[in-house]
Chain A
Amino acid sequence: MSARSLRGRVAVAGIGESEYWKRGEAKEPEFVLGLRAILAACADAGIDPRHVDGFASYSNDRNEPSRFAAALDCRELRFSNMQWGGGGGGGSAAVANGAAAIAAGLADVVVVYRALAQGQFGRFGSGARRERVSGEPALWLPYGLMSPAQMFAMRAMRLMHEHGIRQEAFRAVALASYKHAQTNPRAVMYGRPLTAEAYDASRWITEPFHLYDCCLENDGAAALVLVSAERARDRRHPPVYLLGAAAGSERRAGAGSHNNPDYATASFKTVAPRLYDMAGVKPSDVDVVQSYENFTGGVVMSLIEHGFFGYDDANEFCTLENFSAPDGRLPLNTSGGNLAECYMHGLELQLEAVRQVRGTSTAQVPGARVALVGSGPMVTPVSDMILGSEDTL
């Protein structure tokens, strides 16, 4: 094993979340939701929260590690990290950053967290309310291009045009998330199944996205606890090892005003090969996938860029049957994910990947050993990670 690899060196010892709420309905402030998730993750790991010495988050989380460390009386703070970039692109990178800190000796017990209460702090999906706008946003806000759905719809439209990918492929992603949410009592959409007919009849938000192609907006918090592989053994749960992680984006992905040269991309084309290389696995070794759904079209792009199927057979592959646990060809978003469990900015997907490798998901893939998470398609940077059980080392 190369010294410049995280493979098998760090493990997830615990996972936890607050109760998940509809947007604006949380009964507690965002910081309290974060505390509850962190305490739950530490309890799950059997680790005293006072022994946490590092924190990693992403997407400009408002809750500072120093405040958590003081509130929890952590003995010492050694690592305080934020992955750059908006949206959910940093979900796996935050895990990677925390793991890198442990592997490099900068910290011993790192909590990766995300807390989000839009009722307290305002919504993502509502357009800008300023009277005047300048700089980059002046090139799109005056044209009514102002919401996340609108920022990504034209990528999905271009994908459909370039590769003949049909709306039914997007629909299959939505149907899979809602199906898996029906067995998950944590899910906001538990007890609210979605049919293909209801998807087809749902209103357009912006073509090519129907209502059900768009993620939820929720209040809540999620956290996981990372420790070294050595410390992870002899815990309450079998360790779930980080086999690999990668982050980044393609050349000039951040060019302004939709001028990234390769347009119809989830941004994983250079990232996914590095992930597989570090993890030492192939797409065919992956038992279950959690792929961030900001919008369904981005999931289809992500799965293609991770090599699970090609542009040419995407329409055939993207079916509810193939995406369903327990025995579909590629069980996808088995907790319900951002579409139907909770929009915890994707960190709920990391938690679900841990459950799958532990064997404790509410939509368990029998014998799952290798789980892949893709975070935040179509933004820059994106990130991804692969978790594995003891026997994958």
Chain B
Amino acid sequence: MTPVLPEGLPAPAPAPDGLDRPYWEAARRHRLVAQRCNACGAWQWSPEWICHACHSFEVGWADVPGPGRIFSWQRVWHPVHPALVGAVPYVVLLVELPGAGGIRMIGNRVGDPKAKVEIGAEVEPVFEDHGDYTLVQWRTP
């Protein structure tokens, strides 16, 4: 698929401390994972070293069961980065994942950026491959 946004934006790289490496590696294999505590089962996003629910340091990773729901959104018209000139408008979504404890993830909506966006609408992840990384975007099923 054509990427939602052009090349030239900051590209993600796993943090040197290793905290988010499983997420980026799974995205590369077109799987969406999030942190899930091995001790108590609580979901958590974004990645942290400790489970906020039970304080276990044994925080693991699990596949996120779909679908997601649009929790909030914005349509960006002002390009704040040189790579975005000519790429506006675009839609940024905040997606709630009810199957994963209601954690929220950020991505772009795939498709017509001027189409109506409805909070509460179902969306599913789409894996957008770039040179050496993969972004997680969202589309209407």
Enumerate B89-115 residues with CB–CB distance to A below 8 Å.
Answer: 89-90, 92, 94, 103-108
Most buried by B among A125, A142, A205: A142
Q: Cβ of A144 and Cβ of B92 under 8 Å apart?
A: yes
Q: Cβ of B119 and Cβ of A158 under 8 Å apart?
A: yes
Specify which chain B residues have a CB less than 8 angstroms from the CB of A206 in the assembled complex. Answer: 74-78, 92
A368: interface (CB < 8 Å): no
Specify which chain A residues have a CB less than 8 angstroms from the CB of B107 in the assembled complex. Answer: 143
Determine how close the nearest CB of chain B comes to the CB of A315; give it in whole angstroms: 18
- Scan A190-218; emit 1 where CB is below 8 A from any B CB, else 0: 00000000000001111110000000000
Known contacts A133-B11, A204-B77; is A144 also within 8 Å of B108 by CB? Answer: yes
We find that the number of chain B residues with CB closer than 8 angstroms to chain A is 41
Q: Cβ of A133 and Cβ of B12 under 8 Å apart?
A: yes
Known contacts A144-B90, A258-B94; is A126 also within 8 Å of B14 by CB? Answer: no
Partner of B12, one of A138, A150, A208: A138
A2: interface (CB < 8 Å): no
Enumerate A119-154 residues with CB–CB distance to B below 8 Å.
Answer: 125-147, 149-150, 153-154
A317: interface (CB < 8 Å): no
Known contacts A125-B80, A132-B10, A259-B46; is A143 also within 8 Å of B74 by CB? Answer: no
Determine how close the nearest CB of chain B comes to the CB of A214; give it in whole angstroms: 9
Q: Cβ of B80 and Cβ of A147 under 8 Å apart?
A: yes
**A7→B51 CA distance, assembly (Å):** 39
Partner of B106, one of A130, A143, A157: A143
**A141→B90 CA distance, assembly (Å):** 14
Q: Cβ of B46 and Cβ of A136 under 8 Å apart?
A: yes
Specify which chain A residues have a CB less than 8 angstroms from the CB of B106 in the assembled complex. Answer: 139-140, 143, 145, 257-258
Partner of A256, one of B10, B15, B45, B76: B45
Q: Cβ of A263 and Cβ of B72 under 8 Å apart?
A: yes
Q: Cβ of A207 and Cβ of B72 under 8 Å apart?
A: no
A161: interface (CB < 8 Å): yes
Partner of A143, one of B48, B75, B135: B135
- Scan B31-49; emit 1 where CB is below 8 A from any A CB, else 0: 0000000000000011110
A252: interface (CB < 8 Å): yes
Most buried by B among A145, A203, A208: A145
- By beta carbon, the residue of chain A nearest B106 is A140
Specify which chain A residues have a CB less than 8 angstroms from the CB of B89 in the assembled complex. Answer: 204
**A22→B48 CA distance, assembly (Å):** 40
Specify which chain B residues have a CB less than 8 angstroms from the CB of A138 in the assembled complex. Answer: 10, 12-13, 15, 20, 24
Q: Cβ of B13 and Cβ of A133 under 8 Å apart?
A: yes
Determine how close the nearest CB of chain B comes to the CB of A282; give it in whole angstroms: 33
Enumerate B60-93 residues with CB–CB distance to A below 8 Å.
Answer: 71-78, 80-81, 84, 87, 89-90, 92
- By beta carbon, the residue of chain B nearest A140 is B106
B139: interface (CB < 8 Å): no
- By beta carbon, the residue of chain B nearest A155 is B72
Determine how close the nearest CB of chain A comes to the CB of B108; give it in whole angstroms: 5
Q: Which residues of B contact A (CB under 8 A)?
A: 5, 9-16, 19-20, 24, 45-48, 52, 71-78, 80-81, 84, 87, 89-90, 92, 94, 103-108, 119, 135
Given A145-B106, A157-B119, A205-B78, 15 more A-B residue pairs with CB atoms under 8 Å apart are A126-B80, A127-B80, A129-B10, A133-B12, A138-B13, A139-B12, A139-B105, A141-B10, A142-B135, A143-B5, A143-B92, A144-B81, A154-B74, A161-B72, A257-B45
